[in-house]
Amino acid sequence: MTANDDYILEILQSVGLISTEQASLARKEAREQDKAVIDVLAGGGTVSKLDILKALANQFGMDTIRLEGMNIEAEVIDMVPPEVARRYKIVPVYKSENTLTVALSDPLDVETLDGLRYILKMNVEGVVALSEEIDVALHKYYAARGATVESMLQDMTQSEVDKPGSMQSLLVNEAESTETDAPIIKLVSLIIMEAFRSRASDIHLEPMAKKFRVRYRIDGVLHEVESPPKRLQSAILSRLKIMANISIAEKRVPQDGRIRINVTGRDLDLRVSTVPSSHGESIVMRILDKQSLALGLPQLGFFSDDQQTFERMIALSDGILLVTGPTGSGKTTTLYACLNYINRPDRKIITVEDPVEYQMGGINQVQVRTDIGMSFAAALRAILRQAPNIIMIGEIRDLETAEIAVNASLTGHLVFSTLHTNDAPSAVVRMIDIGVKPFLVASSTRAIMAQRLVRKICEKCKEPYTPTDAELRLLGPAAAQLEQANLFRGKGCSDCRFTGCRGRLGLFEIFVLNDEVRNMIFNNVGAMDLRHMARQLGMRTLREDGLRKVVAGVTTLTEVLRVTMGDQS
């Protein structure tokens, strides 16, 4: 029997829920069975626990709430860390202005609310809920969030890592691993799971002189996260190499592998790359989410006019369409979206890739393997005998590949490929520099699109914004486009990890070749002349496309300036 039980019995008697005899009997049973009077009354059927809580809540001016069937927003749940919610046995239910309302089972526990106000640095009010429903809600909303790399590292001890047999247990297959497996296995799984939850595209594990740094690339920007102790470096790297099916004995040369894993019902492929460094092997894992293949052209960031132009280009029956940009600018994603758009049963599509990043239904995908002589050129020569309608080449890297691509386009095939150039007109010069004859480039190329990726404004913390004078000076004459515009930026919230940005979209520069441009290419003119002609024909530059998206309120001026500093209008 608790200290508050007498007070609770008095309240229940005063509101007529129980009689004096029932109160005396409940007091006696609670003392004999060492239970709380609420449990004794509810267990004996004298009164329901919910009615008891309503009476107590009413006494303290609090409301009662039913958590069963309630859907609490993730933004509200994120306001209370998992360890705090479990320690105080509370569930945040909603927020209004600077007040957070939490559900608790004991309305007499005023210390809980005081403690939460101090920890969360905000006003906290309470509502009363059944303890059973709070337990269910804690599991529902915090089960997946509770296990984090940081909490795992806090729980791990030196003895758990160094005990005999822990390194041998790293060899356990993923399908055979259990809750009793080595902590390293669980830690590696958590690193991958947290990266997926954070929408990371890459995981970087970098050995330093005195630390083992872990970083996630989220929306194109690297963020450092809680790093494991240096002493765990060898075990973590070995575990990842085993999962990727690459040699743990070889540490002198770069290696590549793949990890296939299921995270919260999603099938993920992780492309693993290892490189020897001064203080150990550096590992980078590219997260390939198969569901991202469902991207359509509007999701890439096209405005309607650019989308119509691009759809017209990819609907052609022959010719080369090139997508250009630096590494990490989304070229491969754009090509897959194109293939997804034109993938029909009456068309045979074959791709040549290094590596095959995504498996696509209805498309024949060929993996380049230079170690056995299966180069881009060798693969292309073979697939042309397969009578395809459409060919996708991962990248044009050399003259042989370029010539086969050009010849394929001139013999009635539609060819998609990528090049590493900064803008669209420069791709023409790059093809000629590789060694392709100017007249072949002019005859085969239909359109070239350069692209970059910018971060989108987080919709949950979007706010009006006035650009600084420095930003306007960087824009130069283009600043006039923003004079009457309402600009926005992200303030920062838990949903976007307080960056103000969530997700990315493309900026596009589409260069459609006509007869006049082809004549210029045939005469081997320079990139600047081609760019000047493209601008006369109506080509919108990357920065101009970016400014349109700034005015539309989907990205920020800072982001556009960041990725288009080299743009020459």
CA–CA separation, 188 and 172 (whole Å): 13
- pLDDT range class, residue 569, cuts 50, 70, 90: low
pLDDT-based confidence at 281, cuts 50/70/90? Answer: very high
pLDDT band at 174 (very low <50, low <70, confident <90, very high): very low
High-pLDDT (> 70) share of the chain, %? 88
Is the pTM of the predicted complex or chain greater than 0.75? Answer: no
pLDDT the model gives residue 507: 93
**Mean pLDDT score, 543-554:** 90
Alpha carbon separation from 222 to 205, 297, 461 (Å, rounded): 12, 27, 21
Contact call for residues 244 and 236 (beta carbons, < 8 A): no
What's the rounded mean pLDDT across residues 223-247?
Answer: 89
Q: What pLDDT band is residue 49 in, cutting at 50, 70 and 90?
A: confident
Over residues 260-267, the mean pLDDT reads 74
pLDDT at 178: 43
List, for residues 137-158, the tens digit of each pLDDT value.
Answer: 888 887 655 455 655 555 554 4
- Residue 505 reports pLDDT greater than 70: yes
pLDDT at residue 182 in the model: 63
**What's the average model confidence in pLDDT over 287-300?**
70
Read off the pLDDT of each residue in 424-441 and give the average, rounded to a whole number. 93
* Lowest mean per-residue pLDDT among 167-181, 215-229, 392-406: 167-181
Q: Compute the average pLDDT of residues 523-547.
A: 91
Burial class, 318, CB count within 10 angstroms (exposed 0-12 / middle 13-18 / buried 19+) = middle
Alpha carbon distance 202, 207 (integer Å): 16
Q: Which residue has the higher pLDDT, 68 or 445?
A: 445
> Residue 365, exposed/middle/buried by CB under 10 A (0-12, 13-18, 19+)?
middle
